[in-house]
Amino acid sequence: MASVTQVSMVFDDDSSAAWNEMFSAPGSPRPIYERLFAELGRYQPAELRQRSEQLSHTFSERGVTFAHSGEERPFPLDVVPRLIGAMEWDHLSRGIGQRVHALEAFLADIYGEGRIFAEGVIPRSVVTSSPYFCRPAFAVDPPNGVRITVAGIDIVRDEIGNFRVLEDNVRIPSGVSYVIENRRAMTQTFASLFSDHRVHPVDSYPAHLFTALRAAAPPNQSDPVIVVLSPGVHNAAYFEHVLLARMMGVELVEGRDLLCRSNHVYMRTTNGERPVHVIYRRVDDDWLDPLQFLPDSTIGVAGLVNCARSGNVVISNGIGNGVADDKLVYTYVPEFIRFYLSEEPLIENVETYRLEDDDVRHEVLGSLASYVVKPVDSSGGKGIIIGPQADEKTLAKTAEAVTESPRNWIAQRTVSLSTHPTLVDDGVSPRHIDLRPFAVNDGEEVWVLPGGLTRVALGEGELVVNSSRGGGSKDTWVLTDESIPLSESRVIKQRLRNFNFSPRQDGNVGRGDQ
Amino acid sequence: MLSRLAESLYWIGRYLERSDDTARIVDSYVHRMVEDPFNDEDATCRSLYSILGIDVDSDEPVTTEQMLQHIVYDADNPNSIAGSLSGAFENARRSREFISSEMWVALNSTRNRLPQMENTARRLGPSQYLLFVRERAALLAGLIDTTLSHDDGWHFLVLGRSIERIDMTARLLRGRVLSEEHAPDWLAFLRACGAMEAFMRSTREIHNANGVATFLLLDRLFPRSVLYSLNLADTCLYEIQPSSQRIATADLARQSLARARGRLEFMDPADLLDQLPELLEMLEETCVRINDAVTDRFFGHEDYVVWSREGGL
Amino acid sequence: MNETLSLTIRHHTGFTYDGLAKSSYNEARMTPITGASQEVRHARVTVQPVVPLSTHADYFGTIVTAFDIQEPHPKLEVEARSNVESRAGLVAPAISWRELRAPALVDFFSEYLFATERTKLAGDVLDPLAEWSQISDLHSCVDAVSAYVRGNVTYLPGATSVEATAQEAWDLGEGVCQDLTHVTIGLLRELGIPARYVSGYLFPLSDADVGEVVAGQSHAWIEYFSGAWTGMDPTNGIPETERHIIVGNGRDYDDVAPLKGVYQGAASSSLGVVVDMSRTH
């Protein structure tokens, strides 16, 4: 019983304000964790460590790695899985679906009619000043209306156990390959843990993505050719690009494999040029088309945006989606949900402060050490300042940067992310975690992959969980509850009945030059 | 299939075969040096360099250690064993969505284990390392044949393997022809090609140089013979032609190949030894020509395209 | 009664390459647009080598002709011909500063109030801002700014490259119409007056007969918002006249560059710009 003592003992040490995912009180696991807790209790810490080494060996052999500072590293997988109950998951996945629908409506609106500006829900200047607002994307209308084929909405659990959205990722969210590989590795090396649990499988993700990409194809294509466009082997997520292409049975291409001619896209094959209709691209907007964006990009495809404009090819996720990821725009997403869907948000944002407002800014700058400050255009945890953990010099520099350009920063309450028992050097200890569920929109419904990527900050007290900051991950189990049929836990599309966005006909209309 | 992918597969075939064949050749030379301590180490190493197409500038005597470093362990040299395996691995990374998981895992773990094998080899001599390389090559060859569909991609891979094998067998024989005194004897050659038993069964004449050369060049049934590899390469070239063009005239690669095969097939085996230097040169040239023709015809994708903004107005 | 002018315009431009360009992708913004002050009767863009062309309106409403060339070519030529009927824009009485600073209006025109890399200004150029903001009539204020720019940046063809920023031209004290336009826009935005860049053609003052071809020029000027968009030519210090033919507008030059593209191959050089114009009646 040594390990049980060990698992429960560290819970006693967990004196932080954070929500502990496994325990409700010292030594007493929450109901959904009871069986896992009992099962884990049968292992000596040394045995857990052995499994852990086996997991990392499996990853190295399979090449499940991400590139970090020029070296390929396995993404550490913790042996203790994270569990989500059926009821809770139902709520989460509906909340995510709702958010994706609202963001879709928002993107269609700002790259078209601009109703939301006319109604004063969000200032036009917030959008036009976003570094991601992409004017060449204007009036590039996807045939089935889907710009967000894949969304990765980052979720955290606050101190009292409520889920909150930390940020939206609707450009090229990555990490789903780890969800699939984590599960594969766990079932192979730790099958016994799965006994007594009914866990939703995760390997149907590629099939859902494929269906969504097919549905996105130009309407006159009965058998569209779909490709995955990767920046190439040196990209951090190359492993994922390969996995998705393989599991969908489509070609993995690089920019140099494609060619635009007279608004059609072709790939170069041993049999000559072959037309391409849907491009699931994992190349950022800036690098995607040297004609429209960075002219010195060697990983893009010249002329691609105009091909998409002409409707002969669909770029997925859409270009210009980054506006929705802008962290200042994020603060308005609850308003989008009310405006476009006439619903209340199912998952709240983390409390966030807009620093362009003089009063708010003064307030925040007055006690900067208690806030988290983020650049609006960052991703992957880059450039984030955690006030309580920052030194005086950093805080002073941050205050200066915020004062200089308040539009480029937001401040958030420092949420103590929930913790989860995690195998570390000296035993099993609570570590902060978050969750990135992956949602796929095929135009009919938003399907959310059960679970998602639970990232864990391996340093004690560390609040940034990103892999680029040395984080690891956990296999995430959504438990099925026999009382809830699976079909109901899917998010059924909430139709935007009253909103029918037609493409804007006249580039000058509504800008006041009449 | 994607041109870039086809090229990667072709080179996986070539690099894997190169690592296997190099291991076999080095093994036979090292074996000879151990057997014959009075052998001129420098000359033997230089002889080995010359058959592998390596220029040596320096007049300093080459030691066995240097030779092993250069031909076996040096990952920066694309012709060394470590370099070939790393080349195969890099191409496999670029074609990972095509090759099977098992093949990928086998290649990845080969690469992961190589540094440790090298450490051991530096202490205990290269033979375990060379054996490991050959075993992995055999494992990979098996996986290539059993876990990939025998479609265009597989044909590109086998084409690469066949071309490399012809080239390496020709080089091996050339070493013997060029500097007989420093090369392993015919028997060692047969062993290097894994052909000892097959040869014995088919001819039972161990010390007949002409017989060995004939076997390695012209045997129709032994898979490492040049003729066998030429036939296999031709089959691959036939299969990867666009279906609409199957009946049309043969392409450049198949023409070169047919010429080489004609040369071999219509020759009097009795003259083989006399003509050997010329024949081997012809075979090496054929490999280069086929390689260029295939590259031109099928791998015509762009390298990274560099775009420039048009000059200001 | 407004005077109208009927013009035939031929705009020819392109690039030559040192050797061959392997392939190229381009967008031409060379087609005049119908609006309050002009009506386009006919417009046509042609390209050498001959390739399929496609057209669309961009975010700013400018007509874009997009095309790509896949065969190796030693030069690229683009020619836009059009037939335009033009009249001088009406200048309506301006709204007040207070109306101009209404939050809704400021938000609506935000894109024309932010500085861009091209229009950004700092230093002594901004000295008279306070003085200008005391001028109650917006039109007079803009005229004052324009006079200031013309007085400090001498119009000199070839003085700057197409890449120049407003600040560079100001520091140099010389520039072409594009530079005077950028500096003026930069200052107006500093004052809180929405201002945008207009690309087009200028028919020279001449007593040319109907049908007689005269050398026109590619030209740039501004529009500022004073209750309506009002055209103004800072290079010549005059309002937008019937001799100004509008192709498009944007935040700065980069939004309306007449021909931009990328190509593979050796260095390129411009064929220069030829604009021929003639009155049709």
A415-452 pLDDT, tens digit each? 999 999 999 887 888 999 999 999 999 999 999 999 99
Cα dihedral value B266, B272, B277, B278, nearest 10: -20
Q: Do residues B227 and B220 lie in contact, with contact meaning Cβ atoms separated by under 8 Å?
A: yes
Q: Do residues B311 and B17 lie in contact, with contact meaning Cβ atoms separated by under 8 Å?
A: no
CATH of the domain at C76: 2.60.40.2250
The whole-angstrom separation of Cα A318 and Cα A320 is: 6
The boundaries of the domain holding residue C78 are 4-87+259-279
- The CA-atom distances, in angstroms, between A475 and each of A209, A472, A486 are 21, 10, 20
Least confident range from A290-294, B110-114, B239-243, C43-47: namely B239-243
- The CA-atom distances, in angstroms, between A503 and each of A108, A114, A143, A495 are 9, 10, 11, 19
- How many domains does chain B fold into? 1
Q: Is residue A421 part of a domain?
A: yes
Chain-centre distance for alpha carbon A56: 24
Chain-centre distance for alpha carbon A327: 14
CATH of the domain at A361: 3.30.1490.270
Q: Is residue C136 part of a domain?
A: yes
The whole-angstrom separation of Cα C201 and Cα B165 is: 68
Q: Which residues of C98-133 are buried (b: 16+ CB within 10 A; e: fewer)?
A: eebeeeebbbbbbbbbebbebbbbeeebeeeeeebe
Locate the chain B residue with the closest alpha carbon to A257.
B301
Q: Does B113 touch chain A (CB under 8 A)?
A: no
- H-type alpha helices, B182-271: 186-192, 196-203, 209-218, 226-240, 252-265
Q: Which two tokens stand for residue B115?
A: 């540094």
The whole-angstrom separation of Cα B139 and Cα B146 is: 11
pLDDT value, residue A307:
97
Nearest by CB: C60 against A261, A309, A507: A507
Answer yes or no: do B309 and A295 touch at CB < 8 A.
yes
pLDDT value, residue A2:
39
CB-based contacts of C121, cutoff 8 Å, min separation 6: C115, C166, C167, C170, C183, C186, C187, C190
Q: Are C103 and C171 in a shared domain?
A: yes
The whole-angstrom separation of Cα A453 and Cα B55 is: 53
Q: Give the N- to C-terminal CA distance of chain B in Å, as an integer.
A: 42
Q: Are C78 and C129 in a shared domain?
A: no
Q: Are C58 and C130 in a shared domain?
A: no
pLDDT value, residue A385:
93
pLDDT value, residue B302:
66
pLDDT at position A122 over 80? yes
The boundaries of the domain holding residue B37 are 3-298
Neighbours of chain C (3+ CB pairs under 8 A): A, B
Q: Give the N- to C-terminal CA distance of chain A in Å, as an integer.
A: 80
The whole-angstrom separation of Cα C143 and Cα C134 is: 13
pLDDT at position A13 over 60? no
Name the more confident of A71 and B131: B131
Q: Is residue C180 part of a domain?
A: yes
Q: Do residues A107 and A276 lie in contact, with contact meaning Cβ atoms separated by under 8 Å?
A: no
Q: Do residues B26 and B130 lie in contact, with contact meaning Cβ atoms separated by under 8 Å?
A: yes
The whole-angstrom separation of Cα B131 and Cα B4 is: 32
pLDDT value, residue C1:
40
Unique residue bearing structure tokens 């958010």 = A99
The whole-angstrom separation of Cα B74 and Cα B78 is: 8
Locate the chain B residue with the closest alpha carbon to A63.
B108
Locate the chain B residue with the closest alpha carbon to C260.
B310
The whole-angstrom separation of Cα C17 and Cα A88 is: 64
Residue in A169, A225, A242, A57 with CA at minimum distance from that of residue A455: A169
Q: Is residue C221 part of a domain?
A: yes
Answer yes or no: do B152 and A302 touch at CB < 8 A.
no
Q: Are A93 and A226 in a shared domain?
A: yes
Residue in A324, A322, A292, A286 with CA at minimum distance from that of residue A307: A292
pLDDT value, residue A455:
94
Answer yes or no: do C58 and A135 touch at CB < 8 A.
yes
Q: How many CB pairs under 8 A join A and C?
A: 81
- Which residues are paired to C64 by β-bridges? C56
Identify the residue among A306, A408, A505 best suited for mutation to test binding to C, counting C beta carbons within 10 A and taking the highest: A306
A chain contacts of residue B97, beta-carbon cutoff 8 Å: 228, 242, 245-246, 251-252
Q: Is residue B303 part of a domain?
A: no
Q: Is residue A494 part of a domain?
A: no
Q: Are A396 and A285 in a shared domain?
A: no
Q: Does C74 touch chain A (CB under 8 A)?
A: no
Query: Residue A501: which pLDDT band, with cuts at 50, 70 and 90?
Result: low
Identify the residue among C62, C111, C114 best suited for mutation to test binding to A, counting A beta carbons within 10 A and taking the highest: C111
Q: Are A370 and A292 in a shared domain?
A: no
Identify the residue among C30, C163, C165, C268 best suited for mutation to test binding to B, counting B beta carbons within 10 A and taking the highest: C268
- What is this model's ipTM? 0.93
B chain contacts of residue A246, beta-carbon cutoff 8 Å: 96-97
C-alpha distance from C177 to closest chain A C-alpha (Å): 23
C-alpha distance from C113 to closest chain B C-alpha (Å): 27
Q: Are A238 and A281 in a shared domain?
A: yes
Q: Are A389 and A251 in a shared domain?
A: no
**For chain A, what percent of residues have pLDDT higher than 90?**
69
C-alpha distance from B291 to closest chain C C-alpha (Å): 25
Neighbours of chain A (3+ CB pairs under 8 A): B, C
Q: Is residue C25 part of a domain?
A: yes
Last residue of a domain, one of A393, A413, A433: A413
Answer yes or no: do A298 and B305 touch at CB < 8 A.
yes
Half-sphere exposure of C103 (CA within 13 A, CB side): 3
**Residue A279, helix vs strand vs coil:** strand
pLDDT value, residue B47:
83
Nearest by CB: A129 against C108, C109, C114: C114
CATH of the domain at C173: 3.10.620.30
CB-based contacts of A88, cutoff 8 Å, min separation 6: none
Q: Is residue B271 part of a domain?
A: yes
Query: Residue C257: which pLDDT band, with cuts at 50, 70 and 90?
Result: very high
Unique residue bearing structure tokens 């683009």 = C78
pLDDT at position A459 over 90? no
Say if pTM beats, i.e. exceeds, 0.95. no
Q: Give the N- to C-terminal CA distance of chain C in Å, as an integer.
A: 18
Quote the mean pLDDT of chain C: 93
Q: Is residue B307 part of a domain?
A: no
Last residue of a domain, one of A294, A329, A345: A345
- Each residue's pLDDT tens digit, A218-240: 998 889 999 999 999 888 889 89
Q: Are A232 and A336 in a shared domain?
A: yes
Identify the residue among C12, C18, C67, C260 best suited for mutation to test binding to B, counting B beta carbons within 10 A and taking the highest: C260
Q: Is residue A503 part of a domain?
A: no
How large is the average pLDDT for residues C163-169?
Answer: 95
Locate the chain C residue with the closest alpha carbon to A137.
C59
Q: Does C224 touch chain A (CB under 8 A)?
A: no
Q: Do residues A152 and A177 lie in contact, with contact meaning Cβ atoms separated by under 8 Å?
A: no
- How many domains does chain C fold into? 2
Q: Is residue A192 part of a domain?
A: no
Q: Is residue A453 part of a domain?
A: yes
Unique residue bearing structure tokens 């291991």 = B23
- Each residue's pLDDT tens digit, B252-278: 888 899 899 988 888 887 788 888 889
Q: Are A131 and A163 in a shared domain?
A: yes
The whole-angstrom separation of Cα A266 and Cα A270 is: 13
pLDDT value, residue A468:
65
Q: Is residue C92 part of a domain?
A: no
pLDDT value, residue A69:
58
Quote the mean pLDDT of chain B: 86
Q: Are A430 and A473 in a shared domain?
A: yes
Residue A310 CB coordination number (10 Å): 16
Phi-psi region of C276 (alpha: psi -120 to 50; beta: other; left: phi over 0): beta
How large is the average pLDDT for residues B110-115?
Answer: 91
- Each residue's pLDDT tens digit, B117-154: 999 998 888 999 999 999 999 999 999 999 999 999 99
pLDDT value, residue B207:
64
C-alpha distance from A377 to closest chain B C-alpha (Å): 27
Q: Is residue B304 part of a domain?
A: no
Answer yes or no: do A262 and C68 touch at CB < 8 A.
yes
Q: Do residues B50 and B178 lie in contact, with contact meaning Cβ atoms separated by under 8 Å?
A: yes
Q: Which of A296-310, B30-44, B58-72 has the highest mean pLDDT?
A: A296-310
- How many domains does chain A fold into? 3
Query: Residue A175: which pLDDT band, with cuts at 50, 70 and 90?
Result: very high
How large is the average pLDDT for residues B76-88?
Answer: 92
- DSSP code for B105: H
How large is the average pLDDT for residues C5-28?
Answer: 92
CB-based contacts of A338, cutoff 8 Å, min separation 6: A344, A345
pLDDT value, residue B130:
94
Q: Are C55 and C81 in a shared domain?
A: yes
Beta strands at A472-478 and A77-84: parallel, antiparallel or unpaired: parallel
Q: Are A340 and A355 in a shared domain?
A: no
Least confident range from A7-16, A344-353, B25-34, B94-103: namely A7-16
Q: Are C215 and C174 in a shared domain?
A: yes
Q: Is residue C30 part of a domain?
A: yes
The whole-angstrom separation of Cα C142 and Cα C161 is: 26
Quote the mean pLDDT of chain A: 88
pLDDT value, residue A155:
97
Cα dihedral value B145, B149, B151, B154, nearest 10: -40
How large is the average pLDDT for residues A292-300?
Answer: 91
The string of DSSP letters for chain C reads ---EEEEEEEEEEEEEEEEEEEEEEEEE------BTTEEEEEEEEEEES----EEEE-TTS-EEEEEEE-S-EEEEEEEEEEEEEEEPPP-PPPPPHHHHT-HHHHHHTGGGTS--TTT---GGGGTTHHHHTT--SHHHHHHHHHHHHHHHSEE-TTSS-TT--HHHHHHHTEE-HHHHHHHHHHHHHHHT--EEEEEEEEPPP--PPTT--EE-EEEEEEEEESSSEEEEETTTTEE--TTEEEEEEESSGGGS-SEEEEEEES-EEE---EEEEEE--
- Each residue's pLDDT tens digit, B153-184: 999 999 999 999 999 999 888 877 777 777 77
Q: Does C26 touch chain A (CB under 8 A)?
A: yes
A chain contacts of residue B6, beta-carbon cutoff 8 Å: 270
pLDDT at position C278 over 90? yes
- The CA-atom distances, in angstroms, between A208 and each of A95, A218, A224, A304, B183 are 19, 18, 16, 25, 61
Residue A48 CB coordination number (10 Å): 21
pLDDT at position A24 over 60? yes
Phi/psi of residue A213, each to 5°? -70, -40
Phi/psi of residue C254, each to 5°? -60, -25
Nearest by CB: A507 against C51, C58, C68: C58
The boundaries of the domain holding residue A357 are 351-413
Angle at which helix B226-240 crosses helix B252-265, to 10 degrees, equals 150
Last residue of a domain, one of A413, A435, A465: A413
C chain contacts of residue B309, beta-carbon cutoff 8 Å: 260-262
pLDDT value, residue A488:
38
pLDDT at position A496 over 70? no
The whole-angstrom separation of Cα C271 and Cα A82 is: 65
Q: Do residues A121 and A414 lie in contact, with contact meaning Cβ atoms separated by under 8 Å?
A: no
Going edge to edge, which strands form the sheet with C244-250?
C238-239, C229-233, C217-225, C195-202, C244-250
The whole-angstrom separation of Cα A477 and Cα A82 is: 6
Query: Residue A15: which pLDDT band, with cuts at 50, 70 and 90?
Result: low
Q: Are A34 and A142 in a shared domain?
A: no
pLDDT value, residue B312:
44
- Which residues are paired to C261 by β-bridges? C26
The whole-angstrom separation of Cα A398 and Cα A374 is: 10
The whole-angstrom separation of Cα B240 and Cα B5 is: 13
Query: Residue B45: which pLDDT band, with cuts at 50, 70 and 90?
Result: confident
Whether residue C2 has a cis bond before it, omega within 30° of 0: no
C chain contacts of residue A309, beta-carbon cutoff 8 Å: 56
pLDDT at position C199 over 90? yes
Phi/psi of residue B77, each to 5°? -95, 115
- Residue A427: its H or E element: strand A427-436
pLDDT value, residue A497:
45
pLDDT at position A58 over 90? no
pLDDT value, residue A68:
60
A chain contacts of residue B156, beta-carbon cutoff 8 Å: 270
Q: Are C243 and C270 in a shared domain?
A: no
The whole-angstrom separation of Cα A259 and Cα C91 is: 49
Query: Residue A495: which pLDDT band, with cuts at 50, 70 and 90?
Result: very low
Q: Are A21 and A152 in a shared domain?
A: no
How large is the average pLDDT for residues C234-247?
Answer: 95
Q: Does A263 touch chain C (CB under 8 A)?
A: yes
pLDDT value, residue C152:
96
pLDDT at position A489 over 50? no
